[in-house]
Amino acid sequence: MGPRAAITDVIIDCVDPVRLAAFWAKVLDRQVGTAAGPYVVLRRRSEDDLVVAFQRVPEEKAGKNRVHFDVSCEDIAATKALVESLGGRRVGGYEEGGFLVMADPEDNEFCLVPFSGIPVDEAGRATYLDGTGLDRPG
């Protein structure tokens, strides 16, 4: 058995860490915490929460994310509306897979998923949006 390891922090590269921290603070119902050098950190609500921080970098995002995260929520439609009201957007092209893919104001992609888990069919297509009206872009 190897050494113990865990993912404890998620650091998001961005051009404007103050703006992105404010966006994610509202989406995740957290407060913007400390700012030091190129970093802005969101406050954790509990010790179980991952640290989420934003690091200023000179270049804008280019290409598709190689890693993304899922944002679990109780009300997917309300969370989608919140994301859009804060400057995020829905990312098209993922409807066939059944996932609701969104992007933050700097185009970092993430999925909105239910807290209850992600039901999938035999082909691996997510089915949590079926019949909600969110399974179609618009």
Going from N- to C-terminal start, the domains of the chain cover 1-58, 65-138
Model confidence pLDDT, tens digit, residues 62-72? 888 888 999 99
Average pLDDT estimate for 35-59: 95
Top-tier CATH class for 1-58: alpha beta
In sequence order, what E strands does 58-123 have? 69-73, 89-90, 100-103, 109-114
> What's the confidence (pLDDT) of residue 63?
85
Q: How do 100-103 and 89-90 pair as beta strands?
A: antiparallel
Helices 76-85 + 17-27 axis angle, to 10: 160
> What's the confidence (pLDDT) of residue 66?
81
- 138, pLDDT greater than 80: no
Average pLDDT estimate for 42-59: 94
Model confidence pLDDT, tens digit, residues 85-122? 999 999 998 888 899 999 999 999 999 999 999 989 99
3-class secondary-structure state, position 56: strand
Q: Report yes or no: 15 and 108 within 8 Å, Cβ to Cβ.
A: no
Q: Report yes or no: 80 and 134 within 8 Å, Cβ to Cβ.
A: yes
Domain 65-138 has CATH 3.30.720: yes
> What's the confidence (pLDDT) of residue 14?
96
> What's the confidence (pLDDT) of residue 32?
98
Closest CA relative to residue 99, chosen from 63, 134, 75: 134
> What's the confidence (pLDDT) of residue 95?
82
CATH topology agreement for domains 1-58 and 65-138 = yes
Closest CA relative to residue 106, chosen from 86, 125, 92: 86
Q: How far apart are CA 118 and CA 127, in angstroms?
A: 7
Average pLDDT, the chain: 92
Structure pTM? 0.89
